[in-house]
Amino acid sequence: MILVTGATGFIGSHLMCRLAQKDIFPVALFRYESNKNRVRGLFEAQFSDAEKRFEKIIWRKADFRDFSSLNSAFEGITKVYHCAGYISLAHKDANKLLEINEKGSAYLVDLCLTYRIEKLVYVSSIAAMGNDPTTAIIDENTPWDNNSDKTPYAYSKYGGEIEVWRGIQEGLNAVIVNPGIVLGTDSPIAKILDRYKKGLRWFTPGSNGYVGIKDVIEVMDQLMNSKINGERFILVSENWTGKAIAQQMLRVGNRNKGVICIPKGLLYLLWVLEHLLQALGLRKRFLTRAMISSQFEKKEIDGKKIKSFIDFEYTPIEGMLC
Q: What residues make contact with ligand NAP under the rule CB under 6 A? A: 6, 8-12, 31-32, 35, 63-65, 83-87, 100, 123, 125, 157, 179, 181-182, 187-188
CB nearer ligand NAP, residue 151 or residue 248: 151
CA dist., res. 51 & res. 9, Å (int): 19
CB of 180: closest distance to ligand NAP in angstroms? 7
- Closest separation between CB of residue 11 and ligand NAP, Å? 4
* CB nearer to ligand NAP: pick between 125 and 204: 125
Q: Judge contact between 7 and 13, C-beta under 8 A.
A: yes
Nearer to ligand NAP, 153 or 203 (CB): 153
Of 31 and 201, which has the nearer Cβ to ligand NAP? 31
Show the CA angle centred on residue 200, arms to residues 268 and 271, nearest 5°.
15
**CB of 276 vs ligand NAP, minimal distance in Å:** 31
Q: How far is the CB of 142 from ligand NAP (least distance, A)?
A: 16
Q: Which is nearer to ligand NAP, 111 or 123 (CB)?
A: 123
Closest CB to ligand NAP among residues 65, 304: 65
Of 5 and 204, CB closest to ligand NAP: 5
How does DSSP classify residue 33? G
Cα(153)–Cα(123) distance, integer angstroms: 14
CB of 101 to ligand NAP, least distance (A): 6
State the DSSP H helix or E strand holding residue 252, giving kind and residue range, or none if neither.
helix 242-252
Q: How far apart are the first and last CA of the chain?
A: 37
Q: Shortest Cβ distance from residue 224 to ligand NAP (Å)?
A: 16
Long-range pairs for 126-130 at CB < 8 Å and ≥24 separation?
Answer: 126/178, 126/179, 126/180, 126/209, 126/234, 126/236, 126/301, 127/151, 127/153, 127/154, 127/157, 127/158, 128/154, 128/157, 128/158, 128/160, 128/161, 128/178, 129/178, 129/234, 129/301
- Give the bridge partners for 228, in sequence order: none
In the complex, what is the shortest distance from the CB of residue 122 to ligand NAP, in angstroms, rounded to a whole number?
9
Neighbouring C-beta atoms of residue 162, cutoff 10 Å? 16
Shortest CB 163 distance to ligand NAP, Å: 13
Write the DSSP assignment of 280-320 as a string of letters: TTS------HHHHHHTT---EE---GGGGTSS--PPPSGGG
Q: Which is nearer to ligand NAP, 234 or 274 (CB)?
A: 234
> Any bridge partners for residue 231, and if so which?
175
